[in-house]
Amino acid sequence: MTTDQLAKINWLKRAYDAEQVARAWTAKLEHDRSIAERTNRNGLQNLGNPSGNATESLLIQLADTEHKTKIRLKEMMQIQTEITEAIAKIPNLELQTILIRHYLAHETFEQIAEQMHCSTITVKRKHKKSLAILKIDTK
C-alpha cells in the first residue's frame, strides 16, 4: 500500500473509531442511569458524599454523562456525514458500495464479496481502485 492509500484508509476508519467511542459513552450513560434509578428507589442519602445527598450527586453525574454522550454522538454523526459525502463523489456506485459496506457498515471484504456475488480478490481490487479515486484532505 502507498502512503496515500494508508492515509485514506485511516481517514475512513475514523467512522469506526467514532462509533466505538459513542457506544462506550452510551453504555456509561445507561450504567449511570441504572445507578441513579436504584439509588432513587432505595432512597439512599449521603452515600459516600459527606457534603450532601447521594441522589443529587448521582443526578449531577448523570447530567454530565448525558451531555458528554450527546457531544460524542454528534461528533460521530459529523464524521460519518463527512465520509459519506466523500464516498458519494466517487462516480462508480459499485465502488461506493464497497467503501460504505466496509467503513460505515463494518463488513469484511469476504462479507462484501458474498453480498456482491464476486470473489474477495475482486472486492479488494475494487477497494484499491476506490481509494485511488477518493478525494479527501488527509493532512
Query: Quick one: pLDDT band at residue 61, thresholds 50, 70, 90?
Result: confident
Please give the pLDDT value at position 46.
45
For 21-43, what is each residue's pLDDT tens digit? 999 999 999 988 888 787 766 66
Please give the pLDDT value at position 1.
83
Percent of the chain surpassing pLDDT 70: 87
Long-range (24+ apart) CB contacts under 8 A made by 71-75 are 72/18, 72/21, 72/22, 72/25, 73/22, 73/25, 73/26, 75/18, 75/21, 75/22
Q: Which of 82, 83, 97 is nearest to 130 (CA)?
A: 97
pTM: 0.78
Q: What is the CB-side half-sphere exposure of residue 33 using CA atoms within 13 A?
A: 8
